[in-house]
Amino acid sequence: MLRSFWTVLATGFTLAVIALSMAINFTFGHGLGTNPLNARILGSLSVACDGLKALLPLSIAWQWADGHRLAAAAGAILFALLLAYGTASAIGFAAENRTALTTRRESHNAALNEATDDLGVAQTRLAALPPHRLVGVIEADLAAAQKDRLWDATAACTDATLPASRDFCKRIEAVKGERAIAAEAATLSTRIDYLKTQIARHRHTGAGRDPDPQAHAINDLTGVDISHVRSALTWLLALAVEAISAFGLFAITRRDLHASQPTTPENSGAWRLIAKYTQAPQIDAAPDCRPSGAG
């Protein structure tokens, strides 16, 4: 009972892998279509080939057990072709998926690094600005200065000839310079807040992490070039899926070659006993009843 349970469970998992393998092959085949119709045809063809690939090992084994060697050989050739086609599709799917994933993560990391650098520049520029008052305070100071009689006397500081008027206009120019510094500080503060928001958003999307931690871990352990590690991982995923979808049912399902043989040996004691009592009784020859001297 327990063995049957595990067999059923293993069969279910194998069928799930076969279904996912069909989905992988459909996705890759669909992506090769030059138009929607061709995409559906290629995707459906990949699914049909993958399903046939999963059943062929069983058929080959049955043909071989029945003595049909030529049919088994033809099935083996067909199976090799389907396995190669499915493996190529799985490798293409895995490679595209890993490349897209690492590229997206690298793009997020590049955007995060750029925003972090810009934030550092903006903070440095803000810290380098001289002390200044708030823009509102400076604007109020300028408004008050424009009401001074020297403002009109100097034609808004365009005609300052007397010492008092020149000192007044110098103070006005200093206040205007302070206003420019305050405006620059406000602009930098706004940019800093924006960059901080962008950095938080990039980190929320996964930026700042290793784009391919699995490959880097293997690279650190083995020293193999990371591009070769990524290729090996792509092949490993494809081969694992294709191996299970191709040989899973064959490994779990077995044909009972002894089903046609009798369960009780002919020479067993019970069989001989049954044969003895079911055998028709033999009739002895009739006794000779003639008188003894009869000729």
Contacts of 245 (CB under 8 A, 6+ apart): 14, 17, 18, 21, 22, 50, 53, 54, 86
Q: What is the pLDDT of residue 250?
A: 86
Q: Percent of the chain having pLDDT more than 70?
A: 85
What value does the mean pLDDT of the chain take?
84
DSSP state of 263: S
CB 18 within 8 A of CB 248: yes
Q: Is the pLDDT of residue 119 over 90?
A: yes
pLDDT tens digits for 120-129? 999 999 999 9
For residue 129, how far is the Cα from the chain centroid? 49
**Which string of DSSP letters, residue by residue, matches 128-180?**
HSPP---HHHHHHHHHHHTTSHHHHHTTTTTS--SHHHHHHHHHHHHHHHHHH
Tokens at 266, concatenated: 């002919």
- When mean pLDDT is compared across 32-36, 38-42, 177-181, 257-261, the lowest value belongs to 257-261
What's the angle, vertex CA 258, arms to CA 252 and CA 261, rounded to 5?
160
CA distance 241 to 239: 6
| Rounded distance between C-alpha atoms, residue 210 and residue 232, angstroms | 19
Does 76 or 258 have the greater pLDDT score? 76
SS3 (DSSP) at 272: helix
Given phi > 0 = left and psi -120 to 50 = alpha, else beta, which region is 223?
A: left
Tens-digit pLDDT profile for residues 56-90 = 998 999 899 889 999 999 999 999 999 999 999 99
For residue 37, pLDDT over 60 is answered with yes
pTM over 0.85: no
Q: How far apart are the first and last CA of the chain?
A: 80
Q: Which of 32-36, 108-112, 145-149, 223-227 has the lowest mean pLDDT?
A: 145-149
pLDDT confidence of residue 116: 94
For residue 252, name the pLDDT band (cuts at 50, 70, 90).
Answer: confident
Of all residues in the chain, what percent carry a pLDDT higher than 90?
A: 44
- How does pLDDT run across 46-56, given as a tens digit for each residue? 999 999 999 99
- Per-residue confidence (pLDDT) for residue 268, from 0 to 100: 46
H/E element, 127 = helix 69-128
At 159, is the pLDDT very low, low, confident or very high (cuts 50, 70, 90)?
A: confident
**All residues at 6 or more sequence positions from 162 whose CB lies less than 8 Å from its CB, including other chains:** none
Give the pLDDT band (50/70/90) at residue 1: low
Q: What does the alpha-carbon distance between residue 1 and residue 129 come to, in Å, rounded to a whole number? A: 82
